[in-house]
Structure 1
């Protein structure tokens, strides 16, 4: 009763900090929740994130030892040890619809749809189904500012892969709004940040707002709100605003590095629209250079960390409840020589032909991807929501649509899911399913936990057993 008496007011869930040219959706605060639901997991929505890793894994170093709760993480998955109790490591799943076709494209294009893509060398691409993230967005994204958020690191691939006679367009998309409408990934951190927090205007007003931090723009509104919040909510708001500002600083730093490398003038740097175009163009150039195994011009680790941090901010603020991220395009040959012991491009190394040296390099690249995933889980587990954390109220899947990159094997695909989905998932386990179990059964289970239940999906007619 003492708590109820101290509660002076309640905020609408859809609350924002506003300023000239900026709008910040607020994270969940105690002042937003009905008193009787205080601390209850059910008062928080389930968020869903899907992280795609290209080119498969070193299969003999991926699968944990042991089953159920009595398992030990494998060498590749070892960076997830601190999150062991938050994990479901899933073995035995496959996307049967991807068995047809050579190479990568049919696997990547159908990873989240459970369908077989149409083979074409033109622009008439067709996944023959909607992806599970977009199905979720159509059901649970109606009440959020963005139904979904798609992020990546490489521009849309073009041309024809003459080795298998598929258009390379399939390499760049895992999210399909309709069968023939893929959603491209935003690869420019500043554009993604602005999409979350800035209001695009024009002319002098736009220039004035773009030159200032979004926190400066909403500062007056933030001060007014802090004067009404309790101590715990003030701390939550401060943590959120500092996180937004830290990402903004890192994006600015990356832009300044690019400006310096391109010998851009300060006036050009202030023209952020032109700089955005230059960043995107340079990313495309870097991608082409990497195909020739030259050193990338961007710090790939920092780029990925910024993008996953933007995902966290979007989920934390409930700007969206559905997000996906591609570490790289299908068949990417990004140069990973920035890792000790790695010399060359990702796709080339994944075709190891059993060579011990290449297998070691392949494993190091796999482990790097897992480390980035672990870093995202670190952030989510540090964000308190009620009696739990953002990670407790989310599902974060990480995996690849092929197992061994050398064999393009679509069976027993590597997949991990972190987060408890508001108690809907029983984590801390290695779930071994019978060989041939549909990957789509996992997608059905995740859709159900997110509040977007379906009667069937792809080749699955029921959710994967043993998730809860």
Structure 2
């Protein structure tokens, strides 16, 4: 306990700051510790985050040198050097169910399910299983505001990929609530922010609160709470509120350039339409296609980082304990010409045909994604929680369901797990498994440490060994 005041006053874990139009869940504070310990036997809950990178990696530049604790990060993974002791790099894993079918879709659709998706060119899509994040959401997400939070950067893909005769709908989903029920990613930061921190009245009703900062709405409640907290908790609360303010400020800065998400509440569609018109006006005589592919449309890096900041805030406030993030859709043609030495779209470059110039660009795109992952880990390590950091209480995965974008190789998939020391993960190691070890054994291991019971998943019936 921080002081005598916090010893005399205890705060329930599920506490909120409230105001007209806003509900702000609180991070874990010392004043909650006795009640948490008595009720659960642990200081803070374990969370699970999974970050999906499309189009695979440059294979010869991914795998670290050395095994166990004596390893050197590969060129692609080098941006993670500052977090090396927080990493588990895993080599030798595969999803056998994705071997059938050409192209990307089978790999992406079954990444978290360990199953083979149904081949179709229509809307009757099916993963033939539930994704591991949703298994976790059913069990550890029941008592949070959102059972799970799905984030992304690109709208749901449509049409048919005639090269492989699959509907492109599969390109946009890694989270499956049921076999035929994928969960779409929210790609608009404002909408995601509001889901986490705002309350709404009946649809179509205008709320003056929508124009105000969430922190302004809960200001009085925050002052009341701060008067009852010890010095340590006051500092934690200030850090939390400032983090919320920072994300809100950055969302406002990007509001003139970011596109809209899918399945948005009707009351927001009008605003989004107005925003879209403003963007088109700002772009001058650019065509719609040029708007979508040119840099002025929005800054992809800032978009990704805002989404990852939202994931961190969602975990820190315990608004959710399960979240996924897609850097881009499967087969994304995202133009990465904003990177030095890169000229073209991600998917096209991933089909490098072993051309040295293309391989170099492919590697630069891979490193960029790893750098964004490193950003999230750094943010989570800055946030104190209990007797450690937020990252200590979170298991954050990063990877792709294919090894090489040119061959669509689904064996020895690239995968890294970070954090989770409070969940029993022993990090700072490169773990090399026998070729063909089921990726689903890793998923079972993470579920077990998150407190979710799963006897089997895909081709796995036991957790991966040597994680702890």
Task: Give the TM-score normalised by the residue count of structure 2.
Answer: 0.92
Contact 1:94 1:411 in 2 (8 A): yes
Cα distance in 2 for residues equivalent to 1:315 and 1:447: 16
Contact 1:287 1:334 in 2 (8 A): no
Question: Structure 2 unaligned runs (5+)?
Answer: 260-266
Task: Give the direction of change, closer, same or farther, for the CA distance of 1:281–1:195 in structure 2 (3 Å limit).
Answer: farther
C-alpha deviation, 1:279, in angstroms: 5.4
What is the match of residue 364 of structure 2? Answer: 364
Cα distance in 2 for residues equivalent to 1:193 and 1:241: 14
Equivalent positions of 1:280-291 (< 5 A) are 289=289
What is the match of residue 307 of structure 1? Answer: 307
Contact 2:308 2:376 in 1 (8 A): yes
C-alpha deviation, 1:289, in angstroms: 3.2
Contact 1:91 1:431 in 2 (8 A): yes
What is the match of residue 103 of structure 2? Answer: 103
What is the match of residue 355 of structure 1? Answer: 355
What is the match of residue 430 of structure 2? Answer: 430
What is the match of residue 135 of structure 2? Answer: 135
Task: Give the direction of change, closer, same or farther, for the CA distance of 1:383–1:221 in structure 2 (3 Å limit).
Answer: same
Task: Give the direction of change, closer, same or farther, for the CA distance of 1:465–1:291 in structure 2 (3 Å limit).
Answer: farther
Contact 1:290 1:345 in 2 (8 A): no
SS at match of 1:42: coil
Q: Deviations over 1:368-411 (max 9, x none)?
A: 00000000000101111122101011100000000000000000
Cα distance in 1 for residues equivalent to 2:219 and 2:111: 43
What is the match of residue 379 of structure 1? Answer: 379
Q: Which moved more, 1:386-395 or 1:98-107?
A: 386-395
Contact 2:46 2:423 in 1 (8 A): no
C-alpha deviation, 1:205, in angstroms: 7.4
Task: Give the direction of change, closer, same or farther, for the CA distance of 1:141–1:383 in structure 2 (3 Å limit).
Answer: same
RMSD after superposition: 2.6
Task: Give the direction of change, closer, same or farther, for the CA distance of 1:7–1:280 in structure 2 (3 Å limit).
Answer: farther
Structure 1 runs (4+) greater than 2 angstroms displaced: 1-6, 35-38, 201-207, 256-259, 271-296
Equivalent positions of 1:181-196 (< 5 A) are 181-196=181-196
Task: Give the direction of change, closer, same or farther, for the CA distance of 1:35–1:159 in structure 2 (3 Å limit).
Answer: closer
SS at match of 1:256: coil
C-alpha deviation, 1:4, in angstroms: 6.3
Task: Give the direction of change, closer, same or farther, for the CA distance of 1:414–1:287 in structure 2 (3 Å limit).
Answer: farther
C-alpha deviation, 1:276, in angstroms: 3.2
Cα distance in 1 for residues equivalent to 2:116 and 2:340: 38
SS at match of 1:323: strand
What is the match of residue 274 of structure 1? Answer: 270
Q: Is it true that 1:232 corresponds to 2:244 in the alignment?
A: no
What is the match of residue 265 of structure 1? Answer: none
What is the match of residue 56 of structure 1? Answer: 56
Cα distance in 1 for residues equivalent to 2:178 and 2:204: 39
Task: Give the direction of change, closer, same or farther, for the CA distance of 1:290–1:91 in structure 2 (3 Å limit).
Answer: farther
Equivalent positions of 1:126-165 (< 5 A) are 126-165=126-165
C-alpha deviation, 1:295, in angstroms: 4.0
Contact 1:50 1:396 in 2 (8 A): yes
Question: Structure 1 unaligned runs (5+)?
Answer: 260-270
Contact 2:5 2:230 in 1 (8 A): no
Task: Give the direction of change, closer, same or farther, for the CA distance of 1:41–1:422 in structure 2 (3 Å limit).
Answer: farther
What is the match of residue 253 of structure 1? Answer: 253
Task: Give the direction of change, closer, same or farther, for the CA distance of 1:159–1:143 in structure 2 (3 Å limit).
Answer: same
Q: Deviations over 1:113-168 (max 9, x none)?
A: 00000000000000000000000000111111100000000000000000000000
What is the match of residue 263 of structure 2? Answer: none
Cα distance in 2 for residues equivalent to 1:283 and 1:419: 39
Cα distance in 2 for residues equivalent to 1:281 and 1:355: 41
